[in-house]
Amino acid sequence: MKVFPDKLEPALAKSLPPVVIVAGDEPLQHREACDAVRASARQAGIEEREVLHVEANFAWGRLTEASASLSLFASRKLIELRLGNGKPGQEGAKELREYAEGMADSDNVLLVAAGKLDYREQKSAWFKALDKAGLFVPVWPVDVSRLHFWLRDRASHHGLNLDLDAARLLGERTEGNLLAADQELQKLALLSPPGARIAPQQVAGGVEDSARFDVFTLMDACLKGERARVSRIMTGLRGEGVEPPIVLWALTRELRLLLSLHQHLDQGQSLEHACKAQKPPIFDKRRPAYQQALKRLPMKRLHKLLLFAQRLDLAIKGAGTIPLWEGLHDLALTLAGGRGLLAESPHSYRVG
């Protein structure tokens, strides 16, 4: 059963399931979800804990051994299986499925800590077997549109009353880095009396810019037409040393995807069908962003942008004269609905 991080503690308070899968790539919520399972296990009287790190050549029989071995001091144990960003493979999938089938004979609790599991893994037999028996906690980054609300609620846990404008400013300076955001809230709590109201001026004067971005965050901003955010993300990616080919790959991928969606729609298909026809499919949560982009970018403009992307590719390979980061910024900004410095013709480029 799927349970989101903010609902995990109440779910665990009702009953501790025999298995909990915590999966995702947001460190703060991932850590706190695992901590909540450990705390619930201790409250249930489980004092023994065994940690299995799944690395290359991991012996999956260790999971069966851990489950079957009895302790001199405890009848139950918490088994932590740390998958990281890896996948179980055929052997691991078989062991996990068999573990799920044999859980009726065990009083142990299995905590599977994993990175992001894509839709294929979530449809696998091993995942379905474990999910059916327990809880699945998907850990996703907080959407930028509600980040300030998340920060305001988080501030209350630290005894602070965070002004909504202050929360927005803190969100801009820590986007994509909830660990840094929480650390800044802890620092503000140390410097302020309990229940203090935090204004934007305090955030501006005491919080450094520690936002972290990746190309997937950039694509989300481009599709939604958030031009100011696109510029901020591009600056962040360049400052973090992200290689231009990675940025160009992400932008080109979205251009081709939008062209494919246009083609399906021109054939009389619905947006839902067009999104499902993509590989991988575009899920419901992301469809509104693509719908916005499709209305904003006709096929003719997308073809021009794709031609410009090809010129950027030549520049990356040393066969062109376009300034790379300026060109990538223009491509991203135009994808978001801006004009930037990108000329109407993909065969010309000027700066200034």
**What integer best gives the mean pLDDT of the chain?**
88
Q: 111: pLDDT confidence band, cut at 50, 70 and 90? A: very high
Q: 306: pLDDT confidence band, cut at 50, 70 and 90? A: very high
Same domain, 231 and 329: yes
- Domain membership of residue 233 as a residue range: 215-335
pLDDT in tens, 74-97: 578 899 999 988 889 899 999 999
User: Does residue 346 sit within a domain?
Assistant: no
* Tally of domains within the chain: 3
CATH code for the domain of 190? 1.10.8.60
3-class secondary structure per residue, the chain: CECCHHHHHHHHHHCCCCEEEEEECCHHHHHHHHHHHHHHHHHCCCCEEEEEECCCCCCCHHHHHHHHCCCCCCCCEEEEEEEECCCCHHHHHHHHHHHHHCHHHCCCEEEEEECCCCHHHHCCHHHHHHHHHCEEEEECCCCHHHHHHHHHHHHHHCCCEECHHHHHHHHHHHCCCHHHHHHHHHHHHHHCCCCCEECHHHHHHHCCCCCCCCHHHHHHHHHHCCHHHHHHHHHHHHHCCCCHHHHHHHHHHHHHHHHHHHHHHHCCCCHHHHHHCCCCCCCHHHHHHHHHHHHHCCHHHHHHHHHHHHHHHHHHCCCCCCCHHHHHHHHHHHHCCCCCCCCCCCCCCCCC
- Kindly state the percentage of the chain with pLDDT values over 90: 56
Asked if residue 329 has pLDDT above 90, the reply is yes
Q: What's the mean pLDDT in 216-232?
A: 92
Q: 341: pLDDT confidence band, cut at 50, 70 and 90? A: low
Lowest mean pLDDT among 266-270, 312-316, 319-323: 319-323
User: Does residue 17 sit within a domain?
Assistant: yes
User: Does residue 352 sit within a domain?
Assistant: no
Same domain, 114 and 53: yes
Q: What's the mean pLDDT in 306-334?
A: 91
Q: What's the mean pLDDT in 100-107?
A: 76
Asked if residue 309 has pLDDT above 90, the reply is yes
Same domain, 243 and 309: yes
User: Does residue 349 sit within a domain?
Assistant: no
pLDDT in tens, 55-76: 888 999 898 888 877 665 657 8
Same domain, 247 and 186: no
CATH code for the domain of 101? 3.40.50.300
Q: 305: pLDDT confidence band, cut at 50, 70 and 90? A: very high
User: Does residue 350 sit within a domain?
Assistant: no
pLDDT in tens, 180-200: 999 999 988 988 888 889 989
User: Does residue 123 sit within a domain?
Assistant: yes
pLDDT of res. 344: 46
Same domain, 81 and 177: no
Same domain, 302 and 270: yes
Q: 104: pLDDT confidence band, cut at 50, 70 and 90? A: low
pLDDT of res. 352: 30
Same domain, 240 and 293: yes
pLDDT of res. 12: 94
